[in-house]
Amino acid sequence: MWLVGLLVLPLLGGLFPLLAAPGTARAASGCSGRPAKTVAFSTGELRVYKTRAHACAVTVAKKPGKRRTMSVTLQARGGRAVSDKGSYTKMAGPVTVNALNRCVRATGAIGKKSVSTGWILC
């Protein structure tokens, strides 16, 4: 009987990734939700994701590996800006704000290069 349990357990473990919520993107970004806006710049990309009630943003390096200053800032209209700044190799963030029925703006920077979205998701 215990042998059957040893055979069934790995099979059930393989099903759990299939049971994840559909329409979510968490792979390389760390953000849940659907991709809402991607803005490319010379050293990377600023990616904004949206769920029903929240917005999330990350800045991703075009060429990961070398440690350098990166930052990402996200602000819902009428709220405080949330940011993550530091010395990273691949990505700054994720940062999340409550954005139910509110516009957001995001800014991302890698080194001296930066990009901003302006007010989006209105």
pLDDT at 84 > cutoff 70: yes
Nearest-CA neighbor of 104 among 56, 70, 60? 56
Q: Let me know: does 100 contact 86? Beta carbons within 8 Å.
A: no
The 3-state DSSP class for residue 15 equals coil
Dump pLDDT digits (tens) for 7-56.
444 444 443 343 444 444 444 678 999 999 999 999 999 999 999 999 99
Neighbours of 29 (CB within 10 A): 19
pLDDT at 4 > cutoff 60: no
